[in-house]
């Protein structure tokens, strides 16, 4: 299967086919509104404003699987992001990214790009946190935490996976090169 074979629901419950993003560079992010990484919404919005007209789409998938840090309804999450971070990129329906109820799109993304490790100073802390609930986390492709990002090129290839410790501004050059 290719990424264009998958679909998901937008924040209002409408079915969206990934096919509608054909020819675009897409950044797919599982997010949470009550996480230490939540301020990354600001950087994501900056990327969106900078590159949207050139063909970048950001798809925000709220997920409550990590520390229950995405409480509330889809509408409440959208209101929070719009008010606090002025986000303009589309927000999808809250999903699961791991386990038997994971969104099939995420199964595909993890098959394409597995976990390669946390980076930076926050990486040391994340290694400690994640190892408490998944001792074998370094050896599986599961999403480890909120704000894991997948970058998809204009041809639908998953080209990079960035863990939550990677700030959006660190992805800027790669996005620019794909546009």
Q: What is the pLDDT of residues 24-74, one digit of tens each?
A: 999 999 999 889 899 999 999 999 999 999 999 999 999 999 988 888 888
| Catalytic annotation, residues | 35
Domain that holds residue 57: 3-12+29-178
In a domain, residue 23? The reply is: no
* Residue labelled with tokens 């299967």: 1
Q: What pLDDT is attached to residue 149? A: 98
> Is 24 within a domain?
no
| 66 in a structural domain | yes
Residue 62 lies inside a defined structural domain of this protein: yes
Q: Does residue 18 form part of some domain? A: no
Exposed e or buried b per residue across 31-64, where buried means at least 16 C-beta atoms within 10 angstroms of its C-beta: bbbebbbbebbebbbebbeebeeeebbbbbbbbb
In a domain, 20, yes or no: no
Output the domain CATH number for residue 66: 3.40.30.10
**Would 22 be classed as within a structural domain?**
no
Location of structure tokens 């309804």:
73
Residue 63 lies in a domain: yes
- Nearest 5°: the CA angle 140, 31, 116 is 25
pLDDT digits (tens, 9 = 90+) for 109-141: 999 999 999 998 899 999 999 999 899 999 999
For residue 146, name the pLDDT band (cuts at 50, 70, 90). Answer: very high
Query: pTM for this structure?
Result: 0.95
Q: What is the number of domains present in the chain? A: 1
């Amino acid at each position: 299967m290719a990424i264009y074979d998958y679909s998901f629901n937008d924040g209002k419950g409408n079915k969206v086919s990934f096919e509608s993003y054909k020819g675009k560079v897409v950044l797919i992010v599982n997010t949470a509104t009550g996480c230490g990484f939540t301020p990354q919404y600001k950087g994501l919005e900056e990327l969106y404003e900078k590159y949207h007209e050139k063909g970048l789409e950001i798809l925000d998938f709220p997920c409550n699987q990590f520390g229950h840090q995405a409480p509330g309804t889809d509408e409440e999450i959208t209101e929070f992001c719009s008010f606090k971070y002025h986000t303009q990129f589309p927000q999808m329906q809250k999903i699961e990214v791991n386990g038997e109820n994971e969104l099939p799109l995420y199964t595909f993304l993890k098959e394409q790009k597995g976990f390669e490790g946390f980076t930076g100073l926050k990486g040391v802390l994340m290694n400690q946190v994640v190892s408490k609930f998944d001792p074998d986390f370094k050896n599986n492709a599961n999403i480890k935490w909120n704000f894991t990002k997948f970058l998809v090129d204009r041809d639908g290839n998953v080209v990079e996976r960035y863990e939550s410790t990677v700030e959006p501004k660190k992805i800027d050059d790669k996005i620019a090169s794909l546009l």
